[in-house]
Structure 1
C-alpha cells in the first residue's frame, strides 16, 4: 500500500508541476505580448534563444520568410511594432517536458489607423518549440495569408 501511495504522490506532483510551469509560461507570454502591444518587443525577444528560428508565411511582406538568430528576429519585431500591429493570445496548449516543450498558441492580431480604421486583422496559430524556457523555433500559420500581402500594400501607401 505504501508503494502505491508514493507512486500516486509522485504522479500528482508531476501533474502539479506541469500545471505550474504552464501557468507561468502563459503569464509570461501574456505580459510579453502586452509589452509588444505597447511598442516594447524586448521582453518577447529575450524569450528567444540566440540561435532561434522564426518562420513566417511566404509572400511579399517585410515579415515573410525564415528569420535565423536573435538579430534577425529583433528586426522582425521592430517591423512588427513599427507597423502598429497589436494582438492577443486567446488560447494556449502545451506538451512535453520543460527541456523540450511544444506550445500551440492562437494569436489574433490587428492594425488600425489613428482614426481607428482597420488596416488588418488575422488569426494565427503559433507552433513554438522551447528548451528550458527559451524559444528555439516558432512557425506562424495564418488563417488567410493574402491578408498579410494586402496589409503590406496598405503600409506602403501610408
Structure 2
C-alpha cells in the first residue's frame, strides 16, 4: 500500500512539473508568433465567450473585451502597434478543468527610427476551463505609459498620413 501511494504521489509531482513546462513552452511559442504578427495561435487559446479586462485609460486597448471577436480586435491592434512581448515567468495552480495562471509579460515597442517608444511590465491573471482561457485580467506596472504610447502612435500615424514620418 505504501509503495502504491508513493508511486502515485511521485507520478503526480512529475506530471505537474511536465504540465508546467508544457504550458510555459506553449505561452512562449504563442508570444513568438504574436511578435511576428500572427495572433491566431494565442487567439485559439481563448474560449468563444472569454473576457479580457485591460487597463482603463485613454487608449485604444482600454476596458473589457468580451468574446473572441473583441479579443481578436484587441490582439490585431496589439500587432498593428508593433508591440513585442516576452513571457518571463509563469505560475499556475488548480486542477486542469479549472486552472489559474499568473504570467509575467514584459512588452515594448520601437518607433520608426528604431528607438524604444514604449516599455512596460505586466502580470496577467488568467483563468481557464479545460485548457481554454475564459477570463484574463492584465495588471500593468505603469498604466499611464499605455496612454502615452497610444498618443505617440497617433502622432506617428498622422505623420505617415502627411508624409512627414519616414519608415
Shift of 1:56: 0.2
Counterpart of 1:142 in structure 2 is 140
SS at match of 1:139: strand
The answer to whether 1:72 aligns with 2:70 is yes
Shift of 1:4: 1.1
Shift of 1:114: 3.2
Shift of 1:115: 2.2
Q: Normalized against structure 1, the TM-score is what?
A: 0.97
Counterpart of 2:6 in structure 1 is 8
Shift of 1:153: 0.6
Equivalent residues, number: 156
Deviations 1:76-111 (A, max 9, x none): 000000000001000111111111111101000000
SS at match of 2:56: coil
Deviations 1:8-36 (A, max 9, x none): 11111111111111111111110000000
Counterpart of 2:124 in structure 1 is 126
Counterpart of 1:116 in structure 2 is 114
Counterpart of 1:88 in structure 2 is 86
Q: CA RMSD in A?
A: 0.7
Query: For structure 2, which runs of at least 5 residues remain unmatched after alignment?
Result: 157-167
Shift of 1:58: 0.5
- C-alpha distance in structure 1 between counterparts of 2:68 and 2:21, whole Å: 25
After superposing the two structures, state which structure 1 stretch, 13-22 or 48-57, moved more.
Answer: 13-22
Structure 1 residue runs of 4 or more that deviate by more than 3 Å after TM superposition: none
Q: Normalized against structure 2, the TM-score is what?
A: 0.91
- C-alpha distance in structure 2 between counterparts of 1:50 and 1:8, whole Å: 40
Query: For structure 1, which runs of at least 5 residues remain unmatched after alignment?
Result: none
Counterpart of 2:44 in structure 1 is 46
Shift of 1:41: 0.3
The partner residue of 2:100 within 99, 102, 112 is: 102
SS at match of 1:27: helix
- C-alpha distance in structure 2 between counterparts of 1:68 and 1:30, whole Å: 24
